[in-house]
């Protein structure tokens, strides 16, 4: 696409006067990302920002094409495609270590046996699924960039692309907040419905062997999840599966304690307090001072006493000690599992740098020198921070006082404390 930034200053435009071309440039190419906007919502300022953003993307090597929605001519879809050369180039710029370039990449699989295994967690070369999706199922290092890595690089590129001349005017999320684009999303690599012939994509494999309710008890295919959704989602589901596995012995111990209390609640040797309450002849004073409150025998609390024993019996002390030990083991074993997964997915040495949020940049009206980055960075003044803390603290204090006033019982007692007993 040939564009020129000089067109941005030509004044008024007609509705269809745009720098985005409606053509068939994507014919034979996959669409990696889609941006959506409505022509009726674009003012002159918004249109200039949109065109400048698209122009900067084209300078970065992104192939851009647009397509009008057949059912709504006002809706325009901007299709983005990044070639492998562009992706590899910006992977170096963004310091993203691709799996296909990592010689130490060693994907591994949980190898469950029997009914817990699936073709994704225990692959076999003679399996039909393996033959139809060897790149997704095999243990080989990826020969090219994965869909998750490509989406990550595309998002990182759009987050760094400017749409104006001011330093704070950059990023696709800022354009979405200003309603220049109404949506931005990546495209799936195929249908999720299972096919009996042809190549299988990651989406089909995950839908059948992971997302299906029939596979709720089977081990999760962490490697395929990481390939399709990315490392962040893969870590979440890995933690979730690890947590559920660790809950099994804790839940079994809790069930044993509950069963013990339920089976011994009627035995005097174990539950002597309930035995005394159930066989007592003592009369208790009324629980309130209003009319209608009567004396009650202590034995009326027999059922409640047994119910309390079921959940608070001698074995609950052992359960509390075991739970403390379990939590320590959980944290230690998860740290080891997390380290193994980080090494497997090549993110062990990755430093998280979320960057400066556009909202913070707008709120920060001053700049100061950072000795860490050695650059001038946005800074919120101390006076502005104190005002924010005072307003927040006052609001919290007001809400706490309102909640306290709601729970304080009204003094509607009549006759005062004149009850008997």
77 and 194 within one domain: yes
Question: What pLDDT score was predicted for residue 13?
Answer: 44
**Domains identified in the chain, total number:** 3
Q: Are residues 200 and 326 in the same domain?
A: no
Do both 233 and 267 map to the same domain?
A: no
Does the residue 421 lie in any domain? Answer: no
Residues 15 and 44 sit within 8 Å (Cβ to Cβ): no
Question: Cα separation of 325 and 331, whole Å?
Answer: 10
Position 151 in a domain: yes
Q: Are residues 18 and 139 in the same domain?
A: yes
Give yes or no for a contact between 251 and 232, defined as CB atoms under 8 angstroms apart. no
Q: Is residue 401 part of a domain?
A: yes
Q: Within a domain: residue 280?
A: yes
User: What digits encode the pLDDT tens for the residues 167-210?
Assistant: 778 889 889 988 999 999 988 777 888 888 888 888 899 999 99
The verdict on 178 and 260 lying in the same domain is no
Q: Are residues 146 and 199 in the same domain?
A: yes
Closest CA to 181 of 198, 199, 160, 158: 158
Residue 45 lies in a domain: yes
Of 304, 303, 302, 315, the C-alpha closest to 258 is 315
- Domain presence at residue 351: no
Confidence (pLDDT) at 343: 80
Are residues 63 and 198 located together in one domain of the fold? yes
First to last CA, the chain: 93
Q: Are 88 and 157 in contact (CB under 8 A)?
A: no
For residue 35, what are the β-bridge partners?
A: 78, 184
pLDDT at residue 288, as a whole number: 78
pLDDT in tens, 385-412: 898 899 999 999 999 988 887 766 544 4
In this structure, the answer to whether residues 329 and 368 fall within a common structural domain is no
Using the structure block, give the residue that is written with the tokens 């190549």.
199
What range does the domain containing 82 cover? 5-241
Radius of gyration of the chain (CA): 32
List the chain pLDDT tens, one digit each, 421 residues. 444 454 444 433 444 445 555 445 555 577 889 999 999 888 999 999 999 999 999 999 999 888 877 777 888 999 999 888 888 888 888 777 777 777 666 656 557 777 888 888 888 888 888 888 887 787 677 777 887 888 888 988 998 899 988 877 888 988 998 899 999 998 877 788 888 888 888 889 999 999 899 988 898 988 889 888 888 899 999 999 999 999 999 999 999 999 999 998 888 888 888 888 888 888 888 877 777 788 888 888 888 888 888 888 889 999 999 999 999 999 999 999 998 888 888 777 655 555 566 667 667 777 788 787 777 777 788 888 898 899 999 999 999 988 887 766 544 444 444 444 4
Report the pLDDT value the prediction gives residue 330, as an integer from 0 to 100: 95
Q: Angle at CA 64, nearest 5°, toward 58 and 66?
A: 140
- On whether both 285 and 191 belong to a single domain, the answer is no
221 and 103: one domain? Answer: yes
In a domain, 420, yes or no: no
Calpha distance 206→224 (Å, rounded): 7
Report d(CA 257, CA 251) in Å as an integer: 10
The C-alpha atoms of residue 340 and residue 406 are separated, in whole angstroms, by: 51
User: Do residues 273 and 320 share a domain?
Assistant: yes
In a domain, 310, yes or no: yes
Q: CB–CB of 137/121 below 8 Å?
A: no
The whole-number pLDDT of residue 257 equals 93
Answer yes or no: do 254 and 131 share one domain. no
> What region does 176 belong to: left with phi over 0, alpha with psi -120 to 50, or beta?
alpha
């Amino acid at each position: 696409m040939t564009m020129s930034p000089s067109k941005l200053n030509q004044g008024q435009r007609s509705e269809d006067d745009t720098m985005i071309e409606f053509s068939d440039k994507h014919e034979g190419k996959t669409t990696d990302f889609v941006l959506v906007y409505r022509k009726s919502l674009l003012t002159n300022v918004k249109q200039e920002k949109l065109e400048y953003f698209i122009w900067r993307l084209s300078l970065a090597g992104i192939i851009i094409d647009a397509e009008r929605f057949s059912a709504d001519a006002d809706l325009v879809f901007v299709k983005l495609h990044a070639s492998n050369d562009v992706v590899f180039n910006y992977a170096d710029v963004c310091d993203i270590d691709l799996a296909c370039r990592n010689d130490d990449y060693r994907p591994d699989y949980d190898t469950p046996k029997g009914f817990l295994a699936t073709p994704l967690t225990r692959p076999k070369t003679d399996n039909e699924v393996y033959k139809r999706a060897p790149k997704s199922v095999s243990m080989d290092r990826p020969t090219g960039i994965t869909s998750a890595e490509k989406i990550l690089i595309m998002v990182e590129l759009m987050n760094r692309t400017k749409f104006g001349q001011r330093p704070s005017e950059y990023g696709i999320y800022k354009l979405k907040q200003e309603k220049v684009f109404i949506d931005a999303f990546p495209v799936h690599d195929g249908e999720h419905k299972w096919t009996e012939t042809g190549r299988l994509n990651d989406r089909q494999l995950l839908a059948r062997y992971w997302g299906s309710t029939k596979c709720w008890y089977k081990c999760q295919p962490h490697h395929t999840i990481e390939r399709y959704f990315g490392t962040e989602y893969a870590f979440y589901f890995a933690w979730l599966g690890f947590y559920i596995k660790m809950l099994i012995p804790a839940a079994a111990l809790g069930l044993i304690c509950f069963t013990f209390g339920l089976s011994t609640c009627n035995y005097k040797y174990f539950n002597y307090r309930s035995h005394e309450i159930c066989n007592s002849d003592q009369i208790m004073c009324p629980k309130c001072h209003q009319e209608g409150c009567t004396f009650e025998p202590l034995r009326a609390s027999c059922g409640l006493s047994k119910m309390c024993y079921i959940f608070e019996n001698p074995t609950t002390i052992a359960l509390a000690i075991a739970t403390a030990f379990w939590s320590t083991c959980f944290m230690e074993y998860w740290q080891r599992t997390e380290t193994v997964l980080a090494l497997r997915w090549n993110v062990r040495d990755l430093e998280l740098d979320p960057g400066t949020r556009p909202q913070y940049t707008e709120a920060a009206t001053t700049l100061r020198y950072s000795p860490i980055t050695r650059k001038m960075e946005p800074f919120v003044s101390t006076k502005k921070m104190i005002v924010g803390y005072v307003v927040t603290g006052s609001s919290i204090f007001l809400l706490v006082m309102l909640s306290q006033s709601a729970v304080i019982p009204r003094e509607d007692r009549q006759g005062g404390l004149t009850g008997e007993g």
